[in-house]
Amino acid sequence: MEVAEKVVEGKSVADTTFRTIPSFKLLNQDSAVVTEKDFDGTIYVADFFFTSCPTICPVMHRNLLKIYKKYEGNPEVKLASHTIDVKYDTPSRMKAYADKLGVKGTQWEYLWGSRDEIYTLAERNYLAAAQEDKNAPGGFVHGGYLTLVDKEKRIRGVYDGTDDADVKKLLADMDILLGEYKQ
């Protein structure tokens, strides 16, 4: 969320603006094309990870699995995990990863694209850290954050995906957001 100054009736006021997610075209774990339109009518949680991560990704994905299980079958909720290891994490490798977690269908999309596409989405749009670094564990620097996006593709919150209390807050905020759409 950003704060912008606006002039309203001759007075300067602070106005809250939400960062929005732009158009994209990536491949999922089934090698099917996925665009932002596949998330129309849903709220979703996005993250940036890699399947061979030796540090935070396994914890993040255990927590995302809790979200997946809570909302499984709910057409208003999706998850979007973007790989930052585009050389190793091919769609078929991410399919095997999803199968290992017990994830079925496309409610949880594992997304693959070019290095530039993924890193630009991460850094410019989701405000997430994602970069190659041969000195980092697994060869990549990335944050363990889960980003909540509303039905208008606006970022509504960012949560530490490795912290149980923060993940509980994310789940509560998802319920609140879904409730807002029912009114």
Burial call 3-38: b when 16+ CB within 10 Å, e when fewer: eeeeeeeeeeeeeeeebebeebebbbbeeeebebeb
Task: Say which residue the tokens 């100054």 belong to.
Answer: 5
| For the chain, the helix, strand and coil percentages under 3-state DSSP, each to the nearest 5 | 35, 30, 35
Burial tier of 41 (Cβ tally within 10 Å: 0-12, 13-18, 19+): exposed
- Contact indicator for 81, 116 with CB cutoff of 8 Å: no
**Quick one: pLDDT band at residue 2, thresholds 50, 70, 90?**
very low
pLDDT at 14 over 60: no
pLDDT at 1 over 50: no
In angstroms, what CA-CA distances link 180 with 43, 101, 110?
11, 31, 27
Condensed to tens digits (0 to 9), the pLDDT of residues 64-102 reads 999 999 999 999 999 999 999 999 999 999 999 999 999
**Quick one: pLDDT band at residue 56, thresholds 50, 70, 90?**
confident
Has this prediction a pTM greater than 0.75? yes
Task: Say which residue the tokens 């602070």 belong to.
Answer: 14
Q: Rounded mean pLDDT of 93-118?
A: 95
Q: 83 or 53: whose pLDDT is higher? A: 83
